[in-house]
Amino acid sequence: MTGPAGDGKAGEPPVSRAVMDTVVEPGVEVADSVVEQPPAMRPIAGGRHEARERAVHLLYESEIKGLPVEQVLASQVLAAEPYTDALVRGVAERREELDALIGELARGWTLQRMPKLDVVVMRVGCYELAHRSDVPRGVVLAEAVDLAGRYGTDDSAKFVNGVLSAAADRLRPE
């Protein structure tokens, strides 16, 4: 340690007297100190699960507020991740096609009677099944059921699973 205030070696940040007083016993003379930088933290990058979840939130916001998805995307503080953006725009562009499929497969239910969140989750799931062949069928189903279970009603997960399983059989037969 150079100097009483812990000025540090060339190129190293100085160690303040307050820091030294909290880590060194009174009366102990420090001959040398090394300030190490903490290990660099890898930024937490969201994967497709997070992207899918954010897409559901953005599409739900669009639905509830009656706003176009372009406006909802533009109003975000942080830009949507590429996969989120692709899902939101893809679902919006193919909404009529997706709604027709969901309406046909949800026997006895109209889209107007379904919880809006369930409809949004099923739109995302049907879009991925129909237009994202890079996402495995099982992943689409599991992710949609998970989102419906976390954000929907008590019966949402079962309902979404039933409709999307039928959609998967039609769009991507095994």
Phi then psi dihedrals of residue 9, to 5 deg: -85, 170
Lowest-pLDDT range, 17-26, 85-94, 126-135?
A: 17-26
Tell me: do 128 and 90 sit in the same domain. yes
* Residue entry with tokens 């933290």: 41
Cβ atoms of residues 166 and 104 within 8 Å: no
Between residues 69 and 35, which one has the greater pLDDT? 69
Mean pLDDT of 107-120: 95
Q: Which domain range does residue 11 map to?
A: 1-41
Please check whether residues 96 and 141 belong to one and the same domain: yes
Mean pLDDT value across residues 2-16: 53
Q: Are residues 30 and 78 in the same domain?
A: no
For residue 79, the model assigns a pLDDT of 87
Tell me the helix, strand and coil percentages in the chain, rounded to 5: 60, 0, 40
82 and 158 part of one domain: yes
Instruction: Please state, rounded to an integer, the average pLDDT across all residues of the chain.
Output: 85
Q: What is the mean pLDDT of residues 69-89?
A: 93
What's the CATH code of the domain at 108? 1.10.940.10
List of E strands, 1-133: none
Task: Tell me, yes or no, whether 19 and 63 share the same domain.
Answer: no
My answer on whether 88 and 134 are in the same domain is: yes
* Domain count of the fold of the chain: 2
**Residue 117 C-beta-side C-alpha neighbours within 13 Å:** 17
Please indicate whether residue 34 or residue 9 has the higher confidence score (pLDDT). Answer: 34
Query: Which percentage of the chain shows pLDDT scores above 70?
Result: 74
pTM over 0.75: no
- Looking at residue 19, its amino acid is V
Looking at the structure, tell me whether residues 37 and 54 fall in a common domain.
Answer: no
- Judge if 35 and 70 occupy the same domain: no
How many other C-beta atoms are found inside a 10 Å radius of the C-beta of residue 54? 20
Task: Tell whether 11 and 61 lie within a shared domain.
Answer: no
Q: CA 156, 159, 162: angle at the middle one, nearest 5?
A: 145
Same domain, 21 and 99: no
pLDDT digits (tens, 9 = 90+) for 137-156: 999 999 999 999 999 999 99
- Calculate mean pLDDT across residues 113-123: 97
Q: Please tell me whether residues 18 and 102 are part of one structural domain.
A: no
162 or 107: which leads in pLDDT: 162
Residues 33-40 have a mean pLDDT of 60
Residues 142 and 104: their CA atoms lie apart, in Å, by: 22
Question: What pLDDT, on a 0 to 100 scale, did the predictor assign at position 31?
Answer: 66
Do 145 and 60 fall within a single domain? yes
